[in-house]
Every structure is written in structure tokens, then in C-alpha cells.
């Protein structure tokens, strides 16, 4: 064999594993992870999803590929990311409910799994919980059902609560619906509620400043815009000595008084089960939308003390986590 032919043969053999690996990677089932907020906000939830996928045999980089995109609470990026996932021909998209209009406009074929859906029925996201139909399924947060519970918890810490502000991104229909539920529940409890409507991060401070006088507590609706700006919101509220409550533990870690709602890491673990079924051939429209099964009450005692509030021992005993 001539030296040139031998070198060519050896080069081809040496290159073959790399080429084969590249081809295998190209054929991996691909999950498009559409983060509504920032990577830092979603990181503990995504870690839970990836861990569960691993348990189900989907190992990132080996048996499944994951494309990560972050909207950082900016709804103007939703359409751009949706279009990119369509171009990439991902096999399934996992996301939050606020991205659904942009995704539905981009595709009616790619399966969409909602790890966190505030009110999928009220917003018309799915036809029914039992048989969602179309290409969307996932997990509901039961947001409207938990509104009254949060106000009751707030009243345990502030028994004389008379004036409540509700902060919501009115550009997100589910948050606007939740705002209406909070206002109705507040009326039932004899609490005066004022609505703080925002659509951009720049709207938050002016809206709060305009209504902080006389406000004793602030209810934070579930939304990526608010979550991405939770430090800013908590700073405004704590300086004004206004107690805050939300559905998300991360708000409390950033200085809110308390949160009560479904465990987001648990929801993302369960979203991985949907992804597993879809990658194995199930149709999203045939997979029922499931309800939360694990709820967390988180209280920030440091914030309570700073606000001059005393948390009853009975409430502390019921808390899943107390931050001191």
C-alpha cells in the first residue's frame, strides 16, 4: 500500500468516531426549554426537571439534547424564541403558560408541556383538564383556588388588615384573572383592594409609589415579569413597611414576608414525566392536565421582624420552611 493511501485510510478511521458522534448527536430527541424568566430564577426548577429526565433514562448530551432559551420576563422575546424552536425542529417544548399564545402562533404541531400553568381553563389554553386536545398539556397551579387561602394566611399575621394592593402584569391574561380573583376574595373578607397594573419593569416603581400610602400588604400575582424583578419589588415594599405575599418561594428568599403555593421543583419533576411520555410517542392532547399535589408555606421571620410583625407560633408550626 502506498504511503499516501495509508495516511488517507488512517485519517479516515481516526475521523470516523467523531463523525459518528456528531451524527448521533444530531439525531438525539431535542427538548426546547423555554424559560419565561431568567436562568437564575428557573435554575432550581430546571435542575429538578433534568434530574427526573435522567431517572427516566434521558441523559442530557447522550440520549436527549436540551436547547435552553431565556426570555428574562420580556414578553417581546416570546415570538422570537418560539420561531427559533420551530426552526430547530425540537421534539417537545417545556415552558410556562404566558408563552403559549406566541408558541401557538408559531406551531400547532410541536408538543408543548406547561410546567407551570396559572389558569389553563380560564385563559382558554386547553379545552378541558381531562382531555386538553391540541398540542398543549401540563400542570395547573390552581392559582384562582389558592387566592383565598393566601389572604387568610396574611390575616393571621395582620389581623387588622384593611387595605391591600394587588400587583399584576396585565399583559399576561392569567395574571389579570388572578388579580380579579384576589379583589373578589378581599371584598368577601372586608378588605379594600387597589389594583397596581404594570406591563414592563419600568412600570413597577411608579405604580407602587402612587398607591403605597395606607397600604398594609401587597399581593404579588404569579408572573415572570414580577418574578424577574422580585428584588426590586421587595425593596420597595420593605422600605415602605408593606408586607408581601406570593405563590413563589423565591420571592420570600428575596425578602418577601411569605409565600404559599405549589412546589415548583415538584411541578418541573412531573413535567419531565410528560416529556418522557411524549418522546415515547404519546400525544399531548391525550395527556390530562394534572393538579399540584405538594404545597409549600414559606415564611421570612427576618422580614417579619423588620416590619414589626409577630408571626403566630401556630402559623410557624405549619410552615414548611422558615427563613431567619
Q: CATH top-level class for 7-142+264-295?
A: alpha beta
DSSP state of 114: E
Contact 113, 93 (CB under 8 A): yes
Which residues have CB under 8 Å from 166's CB, separation 6+? 179, 182, 183, 186, 193, 194, 195, 196, 218, 219, 221
- The DSSP bridge partners found for residue 138 are 114
Confidence of residue 26 (pLDDT cuts 50, 70, 90): low
- For residue range 251-289, list pLDDT tens digits in order: 999 999 999 999 999 999 999 999 999 999 999 999 999
Q: What is the pLDDT of residue 124?
A: 87
Q: What predicted TM-score, i.e. pTM, was given to this entire model?
A: 0.82
Instruction: Delimit the CATH 3.40.50.2300 region(s) of the chain.
Output: 7-142+264-295, 143-261+296-323
- CA 256/CA 249 separation, integer angstroms: 9
How many residues in the chain? 324
pLDDT in tens, 142-189: 766 799 999 999 999 999 999 999 999 998 888 888 999 999 999 999
User: What's the CATH class of domain 143-261+296-323?
Assistant: alpha beta
SS3 content of the chain, % helix, strand, coil (to 5): 50, 20, 30
Amino acid at each position: 500500500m502506498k504511503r499516501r493511501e495509508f495516511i488517507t485510510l488512517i485519517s479516515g478511521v481516526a475521523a470516523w468516531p467523531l463523525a459518528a458522534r456528531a451524527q448521533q448527536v444530531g439525531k438525539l430527541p431535542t427538548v426546547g426549554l423555554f424559560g419565561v424568566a431568567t436562568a437564575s430564577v428557573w435554575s432550581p426548577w430546571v435542575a429538578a426537571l433534568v434530574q427526573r429526565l435522567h431517572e427516566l433514562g434521558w441523559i442530557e448530551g447522550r440520549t436527549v439534547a436540551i436547547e435552553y432559551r431565556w426570555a428574562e420576563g420580556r414578553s417581546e422575546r416570546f415570538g422570537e424564541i418560539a420561531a427559533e424552536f420551530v426552526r430547530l425542529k425540537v421534539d417537545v417544548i417545556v415552558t410556562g403558560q404566558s408563552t403559549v399564545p406566541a408558541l401557538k402562533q408559531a406551531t400547532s404541531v410541536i408538543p408543548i408541556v406547561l410546567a407551570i400553568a396559572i389558569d389553563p381553563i380560564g385563559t382558554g389554553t386547553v379545552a378541558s383538564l381531562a382531555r386538553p386536545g391540541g398540542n398543549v398539556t401540563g400542570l395547573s397551579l390552581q392559582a384562582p383556588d389558592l387566592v383565598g387561602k393566601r389572604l387568610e394566611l396574611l390575616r393571621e399575621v395582620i389581623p387588622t388588615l384593611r387595605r391591600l394592593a394587588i400587583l399584576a402584569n396585565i399583559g399576561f391574561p392569567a395574571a389579570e384573572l388572578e388579580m380579579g380573583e384576589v379583589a373578589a376574595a378581599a371584598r368577601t373578607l372586608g378588605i379594600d383592594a387597589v389594583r397596581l397594573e404594570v406591563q414592563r419593569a419600568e412600570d413597577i416603581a411608579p405604580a407602587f409609589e402612587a398607591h403605597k400610602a395606607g397600604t398594609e400588604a401587597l399581593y404579588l400575582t404569579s408572573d415572570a415579569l414580577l418574578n424577574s424583578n422580585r428584588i426590586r419589588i421587595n425593596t420597595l415594599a420593605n422600605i415602605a413597611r408593606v408586607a408581601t405575599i406570593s405563590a413563589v418561594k423565591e420571592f420570600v428568599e428575596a425578602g418577601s414576608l411569605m409565600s404559599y403555593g405549589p412546589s415548583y421543583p415538584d411541578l418541573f419533576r412531573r413535567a419531565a414525566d410528560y416529556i418522557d411520555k411524549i418522546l415515547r410517542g404519546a400525544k399531548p392532547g391525550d395527556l390530562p392536565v394534572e393538579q399540584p399535589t405538594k404545597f409549600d408555606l414559606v415564611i421570612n421571620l427576618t422580614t417579619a421582624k423588620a416590619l414589626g410583625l409577630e408571626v403566630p407560633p401556630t402559623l410557624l408550626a405549619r410552615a414548611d420552611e422558615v427563613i431567619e
